[in-house]
Structure 1
Amino acid sequence: MRGWWQEITGLVLPVDCAGCGRPRTDLCGRCEGLLGGAASARQVRPVPEPQGLPPVWAAGQYGDEVRAVVLAHKERGALGLARPLGAALAGAVRRMGAAGPLLLVPVPSARRAVAQRGHDATARMARAAARELRRQGVQARAAGVLRLLRPVADQTALSGSGRLVNMSGAMAAAGGSRGLLTAAPVVLVDDLMTTGSSLTVAARAVTVAGGRVTGAAVVAGPRDPEVHPDAHHSR
Structure 2
Amino acid sequence: MLTKMNVVSEDTVEDRYSLPAGTEIIPAVVEVIESSGEVRIAVTESASVLPSALTWEAGTSKLTIINDLLQAAGYWSLWCDGSGLFRVEPYVDPASRPVSFEFKHGEASVHFPDWSSEQDNTSVPNRFIAVGQGDEDAPPLVGVATNEDPESQYSYQARGRWITAKDEGVEAESQSVIDQYAARRLRDAMTPVSRLTVTHAMLALNPNDLVAFIPEDGRRRLATVQRMTCSFSFDTDIQAEWREVT
Normalised TM-score (structure 2): 0.25
Give the alignment's TM-score, normalised by structure 1.
0.26
Answer 1 or 2: higher relative contact order, Cα 8 Å, separation at least 6.
1
Greater strand share, 1 or 2? Answer: 2
User: Over alpha carbons, which structure has the higher Rg?
Assistant: 2
